[in-house]
Each structure stands twice: as C-alpha cells, then as structure tokens.
Amino acid sequence: MNQKFKVCAVMVCFYPDKEELSSNISAIIGQVDKLIIVDNSEEPVENNFLTKNHQASKIEWVSLKQNLGIGAAHNVGMKMAIEQKYDGILLLDQDSNPPENLVSELSSGIEYLKDQGIKIACLGPDIFNKNTNEVYKPLVNKGVELNEDFVEKDVLISSGKLILADAVKDIGMMDESLFIDLVDFEWCWRAKKYGYRVFSSKRARMGHMVGQKNIKILKVYNLLIPSPIRHYYQFRNTLFLLKRDYVPNYWKFKALVERSIEFFLYPIFVSPRLQRFRYIVRGIIDGLYSRKGKFTNG
C-alpha cells in the first residue's frame, strides 16, 4: 500500500453473519491504515469475536444502537476518517469480499489519474456476483474506457469504492434522507455536478451481491429480488431523484420504465406478493408527498 496515501476503510453492518464478517475484516485489515466498523443494528452486535488475527488495534467499532440507514452510517465513518486526516475512504458492506489487491490497485490508480490532471472523486473495482461470478453489466451507460485499465462511469455502487477525502469536503456527505437505496448513485451524480469524475479499475475485481437473488421473467427480464421493504425505498427515492436537475435524463427515463415494469412484476411473480405491492404503493405515495428518511407505519 502506498504509505503517502493513507486509507481508512468504513464498513457498515446490520445484523451481520459473524463468520462472514470476520472473514471480510481479515481480508481488508492488512490493506488499510484503519478500519471503522459502523454497526447499524438496533441491538448492538457483540464484537468479542475479534482476535489478534483481526489486528483489533486498527479497528474502531461504533454501535449506533438504531438503524439510521446506509447514508447516515457511512457519514458517521466518513466524518471520523476526515477528522483523523485520512486521504482516502474505502466504503465496504459487511458481505463484500475484498480481494487482496483492492486497496493497492485503487490507491495507485487514484495517483495515476490525478497525475493525468483528472479531478477524481472516487475509484472502484469491477463488481461481480459473488454467487455466480457473473460481472454486473448495465444495459446503458456501460462507461467510457480511458485506457486498458480504467473506465469512466456515471456511478459506482458504494461498496468497494475508494473516495478522496478532499473531494468529500467539496461534494458533501451522503444524502441521509434517502436512507438506503440510490444513496451511492446520488453522491456520484452530485460529484459530477461539482466537476468531479468517477472511474472503475479493471485491475481490481470484487465479489458482491445485489439483492437476495436474481430471477429471469419469461427468459427475458432479469429481476433482482430484494427484501420487500426495499421496494418502498426504491420507488420512493426514484421519485425524489426525478426532481433533481443534476440526475441525468437517461437514468430518469430508464428508472421510469423499470419501475413501471416492476410495479406489475413483483406483485405477480414474487412472493410475498401482497406485502411487496403494499410497500410499492406506500413508496409511491411518500415519494409524491416528499416524505423522507426511514419507513414508518404511521
């Protein structure tokens, strides 16, 4: 790891599988200068599973004792990293599998891109489905190759991306009002509003899982299956972002088409059908009335 570029990893967890979490901590701890774990669980996770092999002296564990959402949890860790003068902030989910070259490749990549005069906000790895090894490929906006190693993107998912602390000072923190879905995309689009650029590196690949599983509808439409409550945030936050001028028009059109299709597909094909439908409808209503933050039954 380039010692001139100090990296603090921020890992957010929510009722994690401790064995998987332990493995992922072991995979990243030797690559970074510090690891901040932000526990978003209402009932704090006991961290007594940490051993010398986890290099516990490099870990700072923060229990929020409530679920404040992914944006707020990231912000807690990011603020700590900035206050402690780290140059880069690596965002990680509890279930992402960081490869051993992740930080070294991203750090050197950032230095290279900066040397090219590029105003960079963040650099992330190529992401693949850790269960199937299939690379996640968007239908549109696949990115523009800068060279054989780097691709300029509109957005990156949060997990695995290395953010420059100085960029955060200009762009701002994550939008906590979105709570979970599209928080990562919104930050990247906002970064572009301030003249920053976003890249992925082909030299680093990381396993991740988007949704609980995927299914093919009529052998044509690939449907990601999240937990039912995620439909609420997906539909609501889509309506929020449609109103923002820095969100690209191609995404607005694509999102409207996808949400329209999903409005019918989820309640018809994916159980629990009625529960999913109710969350979708509530998300649309709250999106129209600009009700932000965490879902409430009231």
What residue type is assigned to position 29 of the chain?
I
pLDDT digits (tens, 9 = 90+) for 163-197: 999 999 999 999 999 999 999 999 999 999 999 99
pLDDT at 53 (0 to 100): 85
pLDDT at 2 (0 to 100): 45
Q: Please count the CA atoms within 13 angstroms of the CA of 151 that sit on its side-chain side.
A: 18
pLDDT at 223 (0 to 100): 78
> Do 175 and 187 meet the contact criterion of CB atoms below 8 Å apart?
yes
- Full-model pTM: 0.93
139: confidence class by pLDDT, cuts 50, 70, 90: low
Could you tell me the strand order of the sheet in which 59-63 lies?
59-63, 34-39, 7-13, 88-93, 162-164, 120-129, 197-208, 150-153, 144-145
Average pLDDT of the residues of the chain? 92
pLDDT > 60? residue 1: no
> Do 110 and 123 meet the contact criterion of CB atoms below 8 Å apart?
yes
250: confidence class by pLDDT, cuts 50, 70, 90: very high
pLDDT digits (tens, 9 = 90+) for 190-238: 999 999 999 999 999 998 866 555 666 555 566 788 999 999 999 999 9
pLDDT at 52 (0 to 100): 85
pLDDT at 128 (0 to 100): 84
pLDDT at 237 (0 to 100): 98
Q: Where are the alpha helices (DSSP H) in 174-288?
A: 183-193, 228-242, 249-269, 273-288
> Do 90 and 12 meet the contact criterion of CB atoms below 8 Å apart?
no
> Do 57 and 166 meet the contact criterion of CB atoms below 8 Å apart?
no
pLDDT digits (tens, 9 = 90+) for 55-101: 999 999 999 999 999 999 999 999 999 999 999 999 999 988 899 99
